[in-house]
Amino acid sequence: MSLSELLSTSFVQHAFYAVSAVALAAGAVGYFVVLRRQAFAAHAIGHVGFAGAAGAVLLGLSPIIGLLVFCLGAGLLIGFGGATLDDRDAVVGVTLTAALGLGVLFISLYSGYANATYSILFGQILGVTWADVGLVTALSAAVLLVISWTYRPLLYVSVDAQSAASRGLSTRWMSLLFMSLLAVTTVVAIQIVGVLLVFSLLVAPAAAAEVLTSRPLRAMFLAMGIALASAWIGLFLGVWLGGPVSFWITALASLAYLSARLGDNTRTRRVRRVVA
Amino acid sequence: MSEVKSLQMTGGAVSLGGHTIWRDATFTIEPGSITAVLGPNGAGKSTLLKMILGLVPLSEGSLEVLGESPHRGNRRVGYMAQTREADSVSTMTGRDYVGLGFDGPRFGWGRDKSKRDVVRQALNLTGTTTFADRPLHSLSGGQRQRIALAHTTVFRPELLLLDEPLAALDLAAQSEIVDLINLIRDTTGAAVIVVAHDLNPLSPIVDQVLWIARHQVRSGSVEQVVNEKALSDLYGHPIEIVVTPRGRRVIVGLEEEFAHPHPHGHDHSHEEGHEHFAEVYEEETR
């Protein structure tokens, strides 16, 4: 099959739509993950999702149901238990370990586990159906809609919780809201890149964007753009050259972060030289 | 108009976790005045600010803030925290941070067209325009405090609460910030409450002092509160005040309280006013 024929097959088309929706939501939510220094929580929610998906598979349900239940549960637990910064790491760590243990148990109980495990852990972008595309797009659109509505207060509590609280914003409710957004985004991102590589869409593009600009709105759109570019080019390379699509997406997003940091370093050095 | 006090506390008390932090506080704060709040660590200075913001309830007495009872999200009160996580880590620009002070609490899609001008005015007033477009983490301590003051005044509050705005600044930066606080008061007409651990840098602009220690709140002019008799009374042991040739007050007899912020020792005489001391004190009197 030629490249153009490959690109017009239905599974590549499905993947294209799904990956676009996910990249936009993950880029936007990821900006706040980086801003709030909550990468560890994002990491944990992904791993909790692993237990949920494994449990759903064991019960003969669609993995996405297990993912939604477990990720939302973990998000709310972290949001409730760890609203104060001091003990957030401990809450996240314990949630993470408990869920991973459960996941291992579910997987060992399920006889045909190798395939299911693999796709949960590393994504199955080329296996998504039209139904998956619909669900993923709807969830991503909902996440983006909520972010656009709550953008300013979310930004405020993320950079200066005390001032935000003094102006009447509830840091606890905002934290719960954000963890729910993060949970839903993690669920859809897992469909594409899997539990282990969820960071590639959620953290790397936003981290790169934060290095490249000091303007919040610009940084959020830039994060969405980098995530989208990584996803599109990654999908294309996966189809064209072979190799897992999630590998390509991860590689590109990491590369974006690396080049942002390198570019930033040379720029600061140049500025310093001018000043000196 | 001028009948309404910026703040009126009558017999106010506050307790946290069942322990009284301070009680019998009665004082008023006039519009356009500057009040310094002094006292040892843990005496309940920041707690007073939280009460005014409606975040901590009174356990006794009454408090009126600008003629209303204190309530969360009061648009007429501005609060500047002692440490702000945005300062050290944020790549956000000062201008954006000041903008958040204006419309950060607002949900929704609409944009307020006046924002750009209002932010520009706040930057002008605080003298921060030249570095407003640099990321916060790249600014000096004094520059960050100026930006933070712009952030706190951008929505034109009538009462400003500043928690330790001079902490961790060198002397030159301290006097710049004191001048700026004075300027903000003069331009906006807001009443200002400044929590501080040293009266000296503030004394040129201060109209009133609140001294919180040993569960009590003393209020009055600098002369009425910061004198040897009043402070010795308050602390229950002799306090000496030495005035240097340049008019700076050195208060002798309080050092222990600042030197031992964690009162887990056995000698209680140094620990009056600490929240922890409240526990020990109440156990002994039970």
The pLDDT tens digits for A109-155 are 876 656 767 777 777 777 788 888 999 999 999 999 999 999 999 99
What is the nearest CA distance from B107 to chain A, expressed in angstroms? Answer: 5
Q: Do B135 and A159 touch (CB under 8 A)?
A: no
Q: Spell out a b/e string for B94-107, using b for 16 or more CB atoms within 10 Å of the CB, else e.
A: bbbbbbbbbbbbee
Residue B256's pLDDT is 52
DSSP letter string, B121-166? HHHHHTT-GGGTTSBGGGS-HHHHHHHHHHHHHTT--SEEEEESTT
pLDDT of residue B274: 38
Closest Cα to residue B104, out of A139, A265, A161, A231? A161
What is the tens place of the pLDDT at every residue in B128-166?
Answer: 999 999 999 889 989 999 999 999 999 999 999 999 999
- In terms of average pLDDT, the best of A5-9, A86-90, A182-186, A194-198 is A182-186
Q: Taking CB atoms and an 8 Å cutoff, what residues of chain B touch A156? A: 100, 104-105
* Amino acid A87: pLDDT: 58
The domain of A41 spans 3-196
Name the residue in chain A with its Cα closest to that of B86.
A159
Give the per-residue pLDDT at A113: 58
pLDDT, mean of residues A88-117: 78
Q: Chain B residues with CB inside 8 Å of A210's CB? A: 91
Instruction: Give residue A228's identity as a one-letter amino acid code.
Output: L
Taking CB atoms and an 8 Å limit, are A165 and B91 in contact across chains? no
Q: Is B283 left (phi over 0), alpha (psi -120 to 50) or beta?
A: alpha
pLDDT digits (tens, 9 = 90+) for B221-251: 988 888 888 888 888 888 888 888 888 888 8
Query: Of the candidates A162, A168, A215, which has its C-beta nearest B96's C-beta?
Result: A215
**CATH number of the structural domain spanning residue A15:** 1.10.3470.10
Residue A177 lies in a domain: yes
Burial of A133 (0-12, 13-18, 19+ CB in 10 A): buried
What is the maximal distance between C-alpha atoms in chain B?
A: 61
% residues pLDDT > 90 (chain B): 58
Q: Which residues pair with B93 in a beta bridge?
A: B135
Contact A209, A219 (CB under 8 A): yes
pLDDT at B255: 57
Report which DSSP code applies to B93.
Answer: B
Give the minimum alpha-carbon distance from B84 to chain A in angstroms, rounded to a whole number. Answer: 6
For residue A195, which of A90, A271, A263, A107 has the smallest C-alpha distance?
A: A107
| Total domains present in chain A | 1
Is there a contact between A215 and B86 if contact means CB atoms under 8 Å apart? Answer: no
Taking CB atoms and an 8 Å limit, are A164 and B90 in contact across chains?
Answer: no
pLDDT at B266: 41
Q: Span A62-78, mean pLDDT? A: 86
Q: Could you give the CA distance from residue B88 to residue B61 in angstroms, rounded to a whole number? A: 39
| pLDDT score of B284 more than 50 | no
Q: How far B102 CA lies from chain A's nearest CA (Å)? A: 10
pTM recorded for the entire structure: 0.86
Cβ distance of B104 and A210 shorter than 8 Å: no
Task: Please give the Cα distance from A238 to A126 (Å, whole number).
Answer: 10
Q: Give the chain B residue whose CA is nearest to the CA of A151.
A: B107
What is the fold of B7-221? Rossmann fold (3.40.50)
**Average pLDDT of the segment spanning B189-195:** 96
User: What residue of A is the nearest CA neighbor of B157?
Assistant: A167
How distant is the Cα of B53 from the closest Cα of chain A, in angstroms?
6
From CA B250, how far away is CA B243, in angstroms rounded? 6
> For residue A216, which of B90, B30, B215, B197 has the smallest C-alpha distance?
B90
Radius of gyration of chain B (CA): 20
For testing contact with chain A, the best of B68, B79, B85 (most A CBs within 10 A): B85
pLDDT at position B277 over 70? no
- The reported pLDDT for the residue numbered A114 is 64
Q: Does A269 or A242 have the greater pLDDT score?
A: A242
With an 8 Å Cβ cutoff, are A215 and B90 in contact? no
Does A86 contact chain B (CB < 8 Å)?
no
Q: Which residues contact B216 (CB under 8 A, 6 or more apart)?
A: B22, B23, B24, B25, B234
Judged by average pLDDT, the poorest of B71-80, B110-119, B171-180, B224-233 is B224-233
- Cβ of A162 within 8 Å of Cβ of B86? The answer is no
B177 has pLDDT over 60 = yes
How many C-beta neighbours within 10 Å does residue A176 have?
17
Per-residue pLDDT, A117: 72
- Whether chain B has a CB inside 8 Å of the CB on A39: the answer is no
The pLDDT score that the predictor gives to residue B6 is 94
Kindly identify which residue of chain A lies nearest to residue B108, measuring between CA atoms.
A149
Q: Is residue A212 part of a domain?
A: no
Q: Where are the domains of chain B?
A: 7-221
For A165, which of B55, B103, B133 is closest by C-beta distance?
A: B55
Domain-embedded: residue A249: no
Average pLDDT, chain B: 85
Encode pLDDT of A203-259 as tens digits: 999 999 999 998 999 999 999 999 999 999 999 999 889 888 888 999 999 999 999
- Residue B285 pLDDT: 33
